[in-house]
Amino acid sequence: MRGKWAAGIVPRHFTWLIKEQLAVCERLGGYGANHRRVRRQEEIIWVQNQGFTRIISLLPSPHNLHAYDELGVPWQHVPFSATDEPRSVLGRLYPDLQRQLGAGDKLLMHHDELGDRLSGTMAGYLVYTGMVPEPHKAVAVVEHLVHRQIGPPGRELVAVAETLPREV
């Protein structure tokens, strides 16, 4: 591949939550009827060129994982649907994120869309780590960064994060 497309394209709704360490976006290639295989490949190429060490998929299904394998991109699948128990999923996810970021990994996390589930999970992470200990402030920070409001389902995830035991 040559020309301007050789660098790939920025994933839709790409946003840094922790500059140069942790970013979020919608599912690479788009979600649902908007998903395009070529776009997914171009976005994966961009992710590779940016030096991300791992993609973390919160999709309930294994969609996209085969594409990451085909292009040699390390990934981690942490299924997180509306029917999953948030305390259980977040209780495993947050300490793992802390370990990976502490080891110097550069992570990109996605769900189908950049909605309440992903935004709430990230605001909860800020509370969990103590970077922004007050839940209402963490919500405001993430809303500002992603340019969209977090609704009640996302705010519930932040409330769950506040109750999780923290690793030392």
DSSP secondary structure letters along 53-81: -EEEE--SS-TTHHHHHHTT--EEE----
Q: How many CB atoms lie within 10 A of CB 135?
A: 17
Q: What is the mean pLDDT of residues 84-96?
A: 97
Query: Residue 120: which of 90, 100, 91, 95 has the closest Cα?
Result: 90
Q: State residue 27's pLDDT score.
A: 94
Domain ranges of the chain: 1-82+106-112, 115-168
Closest by CA to 40, choosing from 54, 28, 24, is 28
Q: Tokens 């996209």, residue?
A: 64
Asked whether residue 110 carries a pLDDT value surpassing 60, the answer given is: yes
pLDDT reading at 66 higher than 70: yes
Report the pLDDT value the prediction gives residue 106, as an integer from 0 to 100: 98
Distance CA 101, CA 116 (A): 23
CATH superfamily, domain 1-82+106-112, is Protein tyrosine phosphatase superfamily (3.90.190.10)
What local confidence, expressed as pLDDT, does residue 125 receive? 98
pLDDT tens track for 6-58: 789 999 999 999 999 999 999 998 877 677 888 899 999 999 999 999 999 99
| pLDDT over threshold 70, residue 3 | no
CA distance 161 to 87: 7
Is a pLDDT exceeding 90 seen at residue 98? yes
Query: What is the reported pTM?
Result: 0.93
Mean of the per-residue pLDDT values of the chain: 94
